[in-house]
Amino acid sequence: MRRAIAALLAGILALISIVAVSANAQDTQETYTVELRLGDDLYVLYINMSTCYFVETSSTLYMKMDIRLAYSTSAKPVFVSVEASLAGVAIGSSMAGYLSDQTPTREVVISGIVPLHVAEQIAYHSGLSFIEVKVKAYRGNEKAVETIMVPVVVVEKEPSISVDAFFDNGSPYTVAVIGQDMSRKIFVRVANTGEVQARNLRVSILLGNNTVYTGTVATILEPGEQAETEATIPVPVQPGVYTLTVNARAIVGATSYERSTSLIMVVIPRPVVQLVLANSTPVLEGEKVCFTIYVNGVPEFADLNIVLEYSAPGASQDQWNPVYVEKGRENVSYCWEARTLGDRTTAYLFRAKLLLRIYGLEYASYSNTVQVTVIPITSVLPRSSLQLVVAPSMVYEGGEARAVVTLSPTLPGCLTGRLEALDMQTLTWTPLKQISICDGKGIVNIFASELGVGSYTLRAVVQLGSYTIASNTASIRIVAKPELVARLVPPIAAPGSSTELLVKVEPAIREYRVSIKPSW
């Protein structure tokens, strides 16, 4: 009788335990702060971690981490990776990539099978343990490591099989492009999570209601063992969000078990991106090189970043450096200040990248490449000269003169110089107006109203970086509008005497004297 009561109580407790696990198996989220020191610099990361509080042995432990660079004392980017282990058993790892002020956030996913013997290393059958997450940061030869302890309850699973599936990107989600992606690979892993031999393991994959794959994974699978297979499935030709169901069937003991999991495939039309260079090339170091990025065909449900990036000479084919990032769906214009690598002519390759985020995944579409050749200032400016001619040299109020600037030797493209006037009180040069010098020559009009009446000394200046070229000086005189003035000298004359009519232009240009004799 006592044994019967004890058995009944044990059954009730077990049932309560199973109900409690089912009720609390939902994902939990927690934000952790990680401080990483690299040399004298401090990098502070906020990691929002989502994982399941209860995990079962022989099932997949899935951890999603949103990593954000919250603060740093250095503008240098830092490379971050994460590793997870449970009870000393490695679960998985992932590289978040570089974090910087330009790219402050990254998302990583770690997934792996929780081995059966993890439960044996914990004090209780279903006991509290910790997932040890190591956050590693690298910058050059410097390295920093910090550990986060994430609480978790490990539950030993009842005898059965488990099935996990993922695309060739390691995720249960994928993005396919019509006309570009004809098929996708799916990897399926089936594990015997019980204590009884499993037989005749078969896998089928359904795209919607249509079976697109069937196959045998293993004839016999011993307890604790797992088997893998892969399938290639066609990509639908119509855009949309498609669900794929992966079913695994096996005979375990005398029981037929079936488990399933789902995958998501997003099919989109191919986005169009085009990069157009506004400048002619080559350009001189320090010049502004302007680009326009044209975008079309981006799905409305996708988050989009438009990235302008370049590849420097000698870099590997996959080494591209971002110079500008813009969020949104509109066309983008951006001007880059040309620079060289050292004192030699440098040829860069530029391209635009559309970075789409769909279901937490990133899909990239690339534009055409554009070459920009940059000539170093040091090879040109030291032997360049600037000539200034101002004509006419005298202008009346309301008039204008023309300033002609000639740069030799002729440099490629257009440069922006300025016309300066000498302040005679402070003996300093003050900017008067800009002048565009294209193909070695620039012309600009000088209006008398810009200077006022007086005499002025002018020069032209071209400045690129720390290099300055100044022209010869040229003079211009602004005079007031002339007036015609006539008077008699003397104004009163005696009868029979003569007087002079004095006619002159003010300001004085020429004076006329006419002798007249009044008739009385």
One fold for both 24-155 and 161-268?
yes
Give the architecture (CATH level 2) of 161-268: Sandwich (2.60)
Burial classification of residue 445, based on how many CB atoms lie within 10 Å of its CB (0-12 exposed, 13-18 middle, 19 or more buried): exposed
DSSP 158: P
Give the architecture (CATH level 2) of 272-376: Sandwich (2.60)
Query: pLDDT (tens digit, 9 = 90+) per residue, 276-296?
Result: 998 888 888 878 899 999 998
- Dihedral over alpha carbons 444, 448, 450, 454 (to 10 degrees): 120
What pLDDT does residue 356 have? Answer: 85
Integer Cα distance of 446 and 227 in angstroms:
84
What pLDDT does residue 111 have? Answer: 84
pLDDT above 90 (res 104)? yes
The mean per-residue pLDDT over the stretch 231-242 comes to: 89
In CATH terms, the fold of domain 24-155 is Immunoglobulin-like (2.60.40)
What pLDDT does residue 87 have? Answer: 80
Take residue 302 and report the two structure tokens written for it: 């996708």
Take residue 440 and report the two structure tokens written for it: 């070695």
What pLDDT does residue 122 have? Answer: 59
Question: How open is the CA angle 289-294-295, to the nearest 5 degrees?
Answer: 140
Residues with Cβ within 8 Å of 83's Cβ and at least 6 positions away in sequence, in order, are 90, 92, 93, 133, 134, 136
Integer Cα distance of 278 and 282 in angstroms:
12
Query: Largest Cα–Cα distance in the chain?
Result: 166
Residue 488: pLDDT band by 50, 70, 90 thresholds?
confident
Query: pLDDT (tens digit, 9 = 90+) per residue, 338-381?
Result: 888 877 888 999 999 988 887 777 788 899 999 999 888 777 77
pLDDT above 50 (res 221)? yes
Domain boundaries, the chain: 24-155, 161-268, 272-376, 380-479, 483-516
What is the residue whose two structure tokens read 């200034």? Answer: 388
pLDDT above 50 (res 15)? no
The mean per-residue pLDDT over the stretch 459-487 comes to: 84
Tell me how far the alpha carbon of residue 246 is from its chain's centroid: 36
Question: Residue 95, CB half-sphere, CA atoms under 13 Å: how many?
Answer: 5
The Cβ of residue 184 has, within 10 Å, a number of other Cβ atoms equal to 20
Give the pairing type, strands 173-177 and 255-268: parallel
CATH of domain 380-479: 2.60.40.10
Sequence-ordered strand ranges (E) for 222-331: 226-234, 240-252, 255-268, 272-277, 283-284, 288-296, 303-311, 321-327
The CA-atom distances, in angstroms, between 380 and each of 281, 343, 345, 407 are 16, 11, 11, 11
